[in-house]
Amino acid sequence: MQVRSIRLKLTFWYTSLLTLTFLLLGGLSYGLLSYSLNRDIDYALRGITEVLETTVQRRTDTILPAEIDDMFRQFFGFSPLERHIDFFNPSGQRQRGQSREKSVLEVPLSESALQAAAQGQQVFETIKGENSPALRVLTTPVMDNGRVVNVVRVGMSLENMHQTKKRFLLIMAGLLPLTLLLSGGGGWLLAGRALRPIDSMTRTANKISAEHLNQRLAVSGSDDELDRLARTINDMLDRIDGSLQEMRRFSADASHELQTPLTILKGEIEVALLKQRTPSEYELVLHSCLEEIDRINKLVEGLLLLARADAGALKLDLQPLDMAQLTHTLCTQMHPLARQYEVTLHHELLNSVIVDGDELQLQRMLMNLIDNGIKYSSTGGEVTVSVEKGSDHAVIRVQDSGPGFSAAEAEKIFDRFHRAPQARQQHSKGSGLGLSIARSIALAHGGNIKAESVPGSGSSFTVSLPRLAAHEFKS
């Protein structure tokens, strides 16, 4: 129904445009025709008058009707029945002796025309009678030695011109319905042809659903507007399909990660209830349950943080922070964890590097990176944390001596719930969200994070955050 509506609109506008063009061209043609006819009549009257002026000066006898007919035919191509030729003396009295033909149209000499002729000027007049057609008249003085000796007056009925213009209007009026019919039919066919790809798009779109996102719109290759629209929609469908696949993987991974601690919790409680136990045994069960609850809580917190970051709703309490001091404090706090894993934790204390950041979120980001480096380093390994001052960024680097990862693994390292093969082998209890959270926090601060590694030679994670150079200068 929508396509038909668009088709009708296109047909209407196409027909309206062609009709308007037809009317404008018709009006222009009518104007040019009127101008041309008026110009030709004036030109012919002026030519006849010149011939009569010469004849009057040269001859003394009467001008015959046949001669008058020849004059009109010479300039008009025909001798009109309704014509006017008259001769007057300078005082305005008619001189009948100059022509044997009585004028068909009797037109008196106006005072204004006589005055203009007396001054040696030609005058064109359009005289409209009550019961007779309009008459175009030219009044011309006949000069002899610089004085007016006669006044020649030549006129012709405008009836033929009016009839010509009327026939033109009748032709235009007859062509108008044909123009409307042809433009409407042509517009309907052209609109249908132009909108045919939309029918195909509509049929394909009706087949698309969450379960059938593999459908794509046909692309003709013409690179017109509809072709570009089809490619844009296909790209959008690709993105939606990718997002849905990612959501499905995310949901499956989240369910799996939540299921594991819940299964452990249930198992611990069921075992504890099988028989009567001592208080110390119950205490051990409760401690184990608390560990799993903490694990679930951290997982949920991580998921909520990532969800807020994806929605652009991660609220940051921004304030100037010294990243060198913050890094030093975190390394001090995480020395016990490093000793637990028999890993040496180094930190390079540099000059202050100020950033505009949320202290709690940046702590979480750095703790995830340092925790990741400690847990993946082998026994006796080292983790080094450094802060550098770039040209306009603070650069925080966490290097470990772990097994590293390949270039292919580097592309997935920040994916949610992704764990390196080494983590799976070690049966790590991590959620697989630490690096994703770290990247989201860095991006929320207008920074970035990248991972570099050589298999067997450890890994390096580099965070880049915008500096507040003005605060560094003041300090």
Give yes or no for residue 471 having a pLDDT over 90. no
Which candidate, 365, 253, 348, places its Cα nearest to that of 309?
365
Same domain for 152 and 25, yes or no, is: yes
Which candidate, 309, 263, 257, 255, places its Cα nearest to that of 431?
257
Q: Counting beta carbons within 10 angstroms of the beta carbon of residue 311, is it exposed (0 to 12), middle (13 to 18) or buried (19 or more)? A: exposed
Residue 328 DSSP label: H
Same domain for 230 and 256, yes or no, is: yes
Same domain for 260 and 282, yes or no, is: yes
Q: Round the CA-based radius of gyration of the chain to a whole number and report it.
A: 51
Q: Apex CA 429: angle with CA 426 and CA 433, to 5°? A: 110
Q: Give residue 473's pLDDT.
A: 47
- In the block, residue with structure tokens 């009317």: 23
Can you say how many angstroms the Cα of residue 449 is from the centroid of all Cα atoms in its chain?
35
- In the block, residue with structure tokens 């019961």: 131
Domain-embedded: residue 195: no
Same domain for 47 and 150, yes or no, is: yes
Number of domains in the chain: 3
Give yes or no for residue 103 having a pLDDT over 60. no
Q: Which of 310, 337, 357 is the last residue of a domain?
A: 310
Domain-embedded: residue 291: yes
What pLDDT band is residue 256 in, cutting at 50, 70 and 90? low
Q: Give residue 84's pLDDT.
A: 74
Quick one: three-class SS letters along 113-174?
A: HHHHHHCCCCEEEEECCCCCCCEEEEEEEEEECCEEEEEEEEEEECHHHHHHHHHHHHHHHH
Say how far apart CA 393 and CA 462 lie, in whole Å: 12
Same domain for 255 and 120, yes or no, is: no
Domain-embedded: residue 204: no
Q: Give residue 466's pLDDT.
A: 92
Could you tell me the CATH number of the domain that includes residue 470? Answer: 3.30.565.10
Phi, psi of 150 (to 5 degrees): -145, 165
Same domain for 262 and 322, yes or no, is: no
Same domain for 304 and 378, yes or no, is: no
Q: Give residue 132's pLDDT.
A: 67
Say how far apart CA 173 and CA 178 lie, in whole Å: 9
Q: Give residue 27's pLDDT.
A: 92
Decide which of 185 and 219 is more confident.
Answer: 185
Domain-embedded: residue 248: yes
Q: Give residue 78's pLDDT.
A: 59
Cβ-Cβ contacts under 8 Å for 99 (sequence gap 6 or more): 62, 63, 65, 68, 85, 87
Q: Which of 294, 310, 326 is the last residue of a domain?
A: 310
Same domain for 13 and 159, yes or no, is: yes
Q: Give residue 349's pLDDT.
A: 66
Side by side, the strands of the sheet bearing 448-453 are 344-348, 382-389, 393-400, 459-466, 448-453
**Mean pLDDT, to the nearest integer, of 304-324?**
82
Lowest mean pLDDT segment, chosen from 33-37, 256-260, 410-414, 465-469: 256-260
Q: Which one-letter amino acid corresponds to residue 452?
A: E
Domain-embedded: residue 110: yes
Domain-embedded: residue 187: no
Lowest mean pLDDT segment, chosen from 84-98, 195-209, 410-424: 410-424
Q: Give residue 3's pLDDT.
A: 45
Say how far apart CA 52 and CA 50 lie, in whole Å: 5
Say how far apart CA 136 and CA 45 lie, in whole Å: 9
Query: Which helix (H) or strand (E) is 329 found in, with range?
Result: helix 323-333
Q: Give residue 75's pLDDT.
A: 67
Range of the domain at 429: 318-474
Same domain for 28 and 102, yes or no, is: yes
Q: Which of 164, 181, 199 is the last residue of a domain?
A: 164
Put residue 185 in one of left, alpha, beta given phi > 0 → left and psi -120 to 50 → alpha: alpha
Domain-embedded: residue 97: yes
CA count, 13 A, side-chain hemisphere, 383:
28
Say how far apart CA 178 and CA 181 lie, in whole Å: 5
In the chain, the percentage of residues whose pLDDT exceeds 90 is: 11
Residue 78 DSSP label: S
Say how far apart CA 82 and CA 113 lie, in whole Å: 21
Decide which of 397 and 206 is more confident.
Answer: 397
Domain-embedded: residue 297: yes
- In the block, residue with structure tokens 């991580």: 302
Give yes or no for residue 244 having a pLDDT over 50. yes
Could you tell me the CATH number of the domain that includes residue 237? Answer: 1.10.287.130
What is the per-residue pLDDT across 263-274, written as a single tens digit (0 to 9) for each?
A: 878 888 888 888
> Model pTM greater than 0.95?
no
For the record, the structure tokens of 23 come out as 């009317």
Q: Give residue 424's pLDDT.
A: 44
Same domain for 19 and 82, yes or no, is: yes
Q: Which one-letter amino acid corresponds to residue 214?
A: N
The most confident of the ranges 29-43, 55-69, 92-106, 423-437 is 29-43
Q: Give residue 57's pLDDT.
A: 60
For the record, the structure tokens of 375 come out as 């847990």
Same domain for 296 and 324, yes or no, is: no
User: Are the C-beta atoms of residues 113 and 24 closer than 8 Å to each other?
Assistant: no
Q: Give residue 135's pLDDT.
A: 82
Could you tell me the CATH number of the domain that includes residue 50? Answer: 3.30.450.20
Same domain for 152 and 251, yes or no, is: no
Decide which of 126 and 258 is more confident.
Answer: 126
What is the per-residue pLDDT across 127-162, written as a single tens digit (0 to 9) for each?
A: 886 666 788 888 888 887 778 878 888 888 888 888
Q: Give residue 58's pLDDT.
A: 58
